[in-house]
Structure 1
């Protein structure tokens, strides 16, 4: 297959809903993707996006090497439901020297095992549930991503409480210890935000900082503080 090919950016093992969406999004972004699954129909569905899509009957080390998974810079193992297969496949990929291995987990117990063997772990269902909950309980937070520790990235909709102020006048770094990383204004998004930029009602502001500080800013926007 791809045994002697030079480095490929991403390898994806497993074409469930999570794996397929991941492969599709990466390919649409112009990234080179190697995809493996035991279901021929699923592999056929992804072949219009990548030539490197192969049907594999097993996920032992020999089969993975023959497919060329060791040539990938990052491999994502998307087999959360079959815990034993997930762990063994992840272990095989790590033992092949892939620089970065990410594994999907459906429970924290499974995730702890995957972390102990050297993988980064993602919890798609849990992460999506947290993001949805944040949107449901907040009138200003449009979306949020939980990072390590107590740090988060959040997108907030600005209200009259801050409208008309410049970024310098709002001074979010000093008042709330959060940093602006992007601004969407009148449908245009930018990361080049100058101190004299005037903020307006319904602007979307993307900030990063401690969750408790983002919450304080959100409460200010909604008039709770």
Structure 2
């Protein structure tokens, strides 16, 4: 089992849109990547962009071993279309005792199975993006990021009741149950919000709190 370092290489298994985008982004950030897919044409198309990209069956323990996958600390199962292959691959990585396994899930049931297998981090890109866009479309938010099951960060405009008053005098937590963590004035960069920060019309703020409370706060605009 490999040990973690800041420059630990990553094995990405499955080169669909998600896996390919992830592998290319990791390489662009200077991370060494071993990319694996069972489709020769896909592997060939990425040979010029990814240094280590191979055709292999990730549901075959011998194939993974020959490729040196047990030596990796980080592995990502990016297989989406073939649930059986996704689950079998994840189970083999768990068996190999890879320390940090990420996997893409295409449904809640798929996610539960991966979690039960022992996958450390399960992501649902389509679901998460759909949920994020739904918040943006139906609300007055400029951006929305759910960071836990019931906690979110929202980028929005300050409601008129807060304009011109130092945040320390607004009693945000007791009144709205939220915290303004950062503010961006027109033509400037984001800075940390303090008790002395005075919000103005046109400012953009980042607010944290439970999902229900940040949604309600954003609707005050």
Q: Does 1:207 align with 2:200?
A: no
Aligned-pair distance for 1:188?
4.4
Tell me the equivalent position of 2:17.
17
Matches within 5 A, 1:42-121: 42-47=42-47, 50-119=50-119, 120-121=121-122
Q: CA deviation at 1:165?
A: 3.1
Name which of structure 1's ranges 182-191 and 65-74 shifts more when overlaid on structure 2: 182-191
Moved more, 42-51 or 147-156: 42-51
> Residues of 2 paired with 1:32 and 1:187: CA distance?
38
The secondary structure found in structure 1 opposite 2:73 is strand
In structure 1, the residue matched to 2:127 is: 126
**What's the TM-score once normalised by structure 1's chain length?**
0.81
Alpha-carbon distance in structure 2 between the residues aligned to 1:173 and 1:45: 53
Q: Aligned pair in 2 of structure 1 residues 170, 70: CA closer, same or farther (>3 Å)? A: farther
State how many pairs are aligned: 216
CA deviations on 1:89-146 (whole Å, 9 max, x unpaired) are: 00011111111212111122222111110113211111111111111111x2122222
1:135 corresponds in structure 2 to 136
| Partner SS state of residue 135, structure 2 | helix
Q: Kindly indicate whether the alpha-carbon contact (under 8 Å) linking 1:103 and 1:114 is maintained by their aligned counterparts in 2.
A: yes
- CA shift for structure 1 position 147: 3.5
Cα distance change of structure 1 residues 169 and 10 upon mapping to structure 2, 3 Å threshold: farther
**Distance in 2, Cα, partners of 1:45 & 1:203:** 46
Structure 1 distance, partners of 2:36, 2:180, is 39
TM-score by length of 2: 0.82
Q: Are the aligned partners of 1:8 and 1:71 in contact in 2 as well (CA < 8 Å)?
A: no
Aligned equivalents of 1:187 and 1:70: distance in 2? 50
Q: How many Å apart are 1:14 and its aligned residue?
A: 0.9
Structure 2: stretches of 5+ with no match in the other structure: none
Q: How far is 1:77 from its partner?
A: 0.7
Q: Is the 8 A contact 2:14 2:79 kept in 1?
A: yes
Query: Kindly tell me: are residues 57 and 150 of structure 1, through their superposed partners in 2, closer, same or farther at Cα, counting changes over 3 Å?
Result: closer
Change in 2 beyond 3 A, CA 1:137/1:93: same
For 1:170 and 1:32, how far apart are their aligned partners in 2? 49
Describe the shift of the 1:29–1:58 C-alpha distance in structure 2 as closer, same or farther (beyond 3 A): closer
Which residue of structure 2 lines up, in the alignment, with residue 153 of structure 1? 153
Shift of 1:158: 2.9
